A and B are shown apart, each in its own frame.
Chain A
Amino acid sequence: MPMDANEIERLIRARFPDATVAIRDLAGDGDHFAAHVVTREFIGKTRVQQHKMVYDALQGRMGGVLHALALTTAAPKD
């Protein structure tokens, strides 16, 4: 198991303390995750910028040990 859901959530929260983070283990194999991240820091950012901010928070793991993280991001609605 390359990475567990708690570790992904911890890294994201460390970077975005206000974030709502929802992680789902898609296949139950500890290797295919979906993450939904909502934080005020995304306000005014494009999707590419938002995703890059999350990838930065994961400190190089994305594309490495984390092959399959389906990511969706949003700024808070209000």
Chain B
Amino acid sequence: MSEQAVQDWIRKTVAANDVVLFMKGTKDVPQCGFSAQVGQILAHLDVAYKDVNVLEDMGIREGIKSFSQWPTIPQLYVKGEFVGGCDIIREMFQEGELQSLLEEKGIGHRSAKMTA
């Protein structure tokens, strides 16, 4: 894919899916601890999401960084908007902000608060 085609593909993918996680590996077999952490949080909240394995496509791996102007992977998108990488998602989850965001955007999830 050309760089432009990659950007178009990313734009379409985050528009067509409520929750998208660009990650190293897949939701079943994550290949990086940071990607795994975000996957675990989404699984804990029972959120349905599309996983995109950036290791399968160098164009997407670099393209997603310019799409969001964010230098690292994983990257979580909700309703087409970039929400954050691993640190931000973890912090938002611990503060209950991720749950509020999902609520606001009408994304189905388990609302149980983390007790640890």
Contact string against B for A residues 19-35, beta-carbon threshold 8 Å, 1 for contact and 0 otherwise: 00000000000000000
A60 to B86, CA, bound (A): 18
Contact-residue size bin, chain A (C-beta under 8 Å from the other chain): 10 to 19
Contact A51:B65 (CB < 8 A) given known A62-B71, A62-B72, A63-B72: no
Cα distance A70–B83 in the bound complex, in angstroms: 16
Q: Is the CB of B87 within 8 A of A72?
A: yes
Closest CB of chain B to A48's CB: distance in Å? Answer: 6
With contacts A47-B92, A48-B82, A63-B65 taken as known, whether A55 is within 8 angstroms of B71 at the C-beta atoms is yes
Please tell me if the beta carbons of B72 and A47 are within 8 angstroms of each other in the complex. no
Complexed CA–CA distance, A51 and B84 (Å) = 9
- Please indicate the chain A residues that have their CB under 8 angstroms from the CB of B91 in the complex: 47, 72
Interface size of B as a range? 10 to 19
Contact A51 B85 (CB under 8 A): yes
Which residues on the A side are within 8 Å of B88 (C-beta)?
47-48, 51
Contact with A along B59-92 (1 / 0, CB 8 A): 0000001000111110000000011111110011
Cα distance, A13 to B87, chains bound together (Å): 21
Q: How far is the CA of A52 from the CA of B85 in the complex (A)?
A: 11
Contact A47 B84 (CB under 8 A): yes
Task: Name B84's closest neighbour in chain A (CB-CB).
Answer: A48
Report the Cα distance A62→B71, complex, angstroms: 6
